Each structure stands twice: as structure tokens, then as C-alpha cells.
Amino acid sequence: MTTTRTISRCDFLLNALAACAGTVLPLSLSAPSPTDSLAPSPRPIEIKRLAPMTHPDDSFKTTVFCMGRPGLYAVSRMVHRFGHIDRNVDYLFVDTHDTEDTNLYLPEATRTLLTDLLAESHLALIVADTERGIPEALRTQFAEWRRQSSNMTVTFCLAPAAPANARQPVWTRQPNDVIVNVPATPADTTALMPYAIFGLCHPVYYPGLVGLDLDDIKTVLSRTGGIRFGMATAVGENRPATAMRKALKQVYAGIPPSAVQTGLLAFITTNDEDDLSFEDLTEAADLLHEALRPFDNAEYTWAHRVTPSVKKGEVLVTVYAG
């Protein structure tokens, strides 16, 4: 009797991530120095699909671009942490050969492939190590897609040394181009990156008591080019409000309250077996209103999502602030 093992899409993606990495993935995200260039002559940018989509829903699609090995590492940590992959998310590895931007070019066939992939997407998430982790040839393609479709790109990178919003990303050309500055922690510079990616990887799925759509997200995020990120978990009584306070404290760490005056977007995520009430959630959401009370034109929006990726009795809050 022959036993057949079914490989889940999650396993498939993890295997693909490891195969693309080729060697042991880096332990931290860092931009390669000029001396790290692997070839003196220009090299082609390659794009590889990491896991085939299953039963796609035409109503909404997210495409995740892993920029080089740092992007692979960040996405693999998200997959390990949350353990399941949404069927409407397409994962792509952009092979930049860990070399300098000046040594890269976009072949016509790859340009056509990228155009076709973006044409099917509503939200593009770009996972890089630094603000300059995206080759100029790709920035141009993303900008053209935003201009034609009015859809949104969100880039995740480690927060710069300067406070968020101190300067805009050099490639921002459209309102719908957003960069999320993920703060480093003393123990692990990339510890928060999986949570930042997950928060926006499935923005309109796993609906709970309160949902939102892409227009809700764009209303808040597209008003600023630089976004600060915070996350927290909590258990016990009043756990949604407790987690929200901790996440907001992380967002405002090291900056004056006036640095965040455009808007706040928050996701309150719980286990699908939890029985939190609507009042529990609105108590947490009211903290967003309080944080923005001094600013007349600021907006906030939030959603509740349920997923088995969060332990029963625990609340995960992710906050994006601009």
C-alpha cells in the first residue's frame, strides 16, 4: 500500500523560499555594501512565483514581492509565525542577486511578466531591507501601475535612524505609494517585520465583527508617504484595549504626539473561537480616536479579524500610523 503525503500550500511556499535562498538565510536584514557586488557587469532582474494560487477570488488579490534574500527571510518568518497562506495572495521572489542597483536591469520578458502580474493585483506589498532595496527599474514599473490603476503599493522596510516622516522615500511619485517603517527591537532587529507584513497581507479577509475594504485602507494610508508601525498582544480581561494601548505606545515611542496627525489604521485580530463582544472591540477602537483628537483633519479606521493563527484567549493588535 502506497501512502501519499499531501503538501499544503504553506509547506510548498516554505520549500520554495528555501530553494530560492540557496543557502542559509541571513540572520538580519541589511543592505549589501558596494564591495558585495557579485558581478562587475549588469545582471538581469528575475521574478519567480513561489507558490501557485489556489481557487483565486477575482474580487481582490494581493501580490507580495520578496526583494532579494532579505525579503525572502522576512516573508518566511511570517509564514512560520502564522502558519497559513491566503489563497488570494500571490508570492513572488524578485532576484536582485544581492548586488547594487547600478548592476541590475529589467529584461523585456520580465517587464512583461511584471506588468501582467500587477494588472491582476489590487494591492502590492513590497518586502525589502531598506528604502533603497528596490531597483530603479522596478520602481518605475510600480509607479506606472499605480498611475494607471489607482491601486496601492506598500513597502515594508526597517525604520531609518531618523524619525518616520522626516523624509519621503526617493521613489514616491503617487499618493498611493506608502512605505511602512518597521522599528527594530534590541534583541532582534527584524522581530516585528512578520507582524507588519501579516497585518496588510490579508486586509479584507478573515472578517470578524467589523470589516473594511481597500478604499478604507487607502483613505488613511495614502495621505502620507511614511508610516510608523506598532504591534502588541494581550491576554486576560480587557485584552483588546490593553493590546491597543501597548501598540500605540510603540508607535509613539521616541516621537512627539504631533508626529502622527494624518491617520491611524488598526487591525484587532483574535482566534475564531473567542467570543469577544462588540463593546470590547469599540473600547479599544476609541483609543485611536483619543490619540487623534487634537488634529481636526485626521482620520482613523479599524477592523476586527478572526484567524486560527492567533491563540485562543489572545488578542493581536497591529497599528499603522502616519
Domains and CATH numbers, the chain: 9-202 (3.40.50.920), 228-321 (3.30.1330.20)
The grid coordinates of residue 280 equal: 470590547
Instruction: Give the DSSP letter of residue 34.
Output: G
Do 18 and 75 contact (CB within 8 A), yes or no? no
Whole-angstrom Cα distance, residue 303 to residue 281?
9
pLDDT tens track of the chain, all 322 residues?
444 444 566 676 777 777 776 543 333 333 344 444 444 578 888 888 887 666 555 667 888 999 888 888 888 888 888 876 666 788 899 988 777 677 788 889 888 888 888 888 888 888 887 766 788 888 888 888 887 877 788 888 876 544 444 443 444 445 566 778 787 776 777 788 888 888 887 666 566 778 777 777 777 776 665 788 889 999 998 999 999 999 998 888 877 777 666 778 899 998 877 878 889 899 999 998 888 877 777 788 888 888 888 888 999 999 998 7
Closest of 138, 150, 157, 141 to residue 174, by C-alpha:
150
CA angle 216, 305, 59 (to 5 degrees): 55
What pLDDT is stored for residue 203 in this prediction?
Answer: 62
Model pTM score: 0.81
- Three-state SS at 11: helix
8: phi then psi, degrees, rounded to nearest 5: -75, 165
Whole-angstrom Cα distance, residue 245 to residue 239?
10
What pLDDT is stored for residue 305 in this prediction?
Answer: 86
What element of type H or E holds 149?
Answer: helix 136-149
What element of type H or E holds 61?
Answer: none
Do 213 and 165 contact (CB within 8 A), yes or no? no
Whole-angstrom Cα distance, residue 138 to residue 129?
15
The β-bridge partners of 295 are: none
- Cα distance between the two ends of the chain: 59
What pLDDT is stored for residue 25 in this prediction?
Answer: 38
* Amino acid at position 33, single letter: S
Give the DSSP letter string of 158-190: EPPSSPTTSS--TT--STTEEEEEEPP-SS-TT
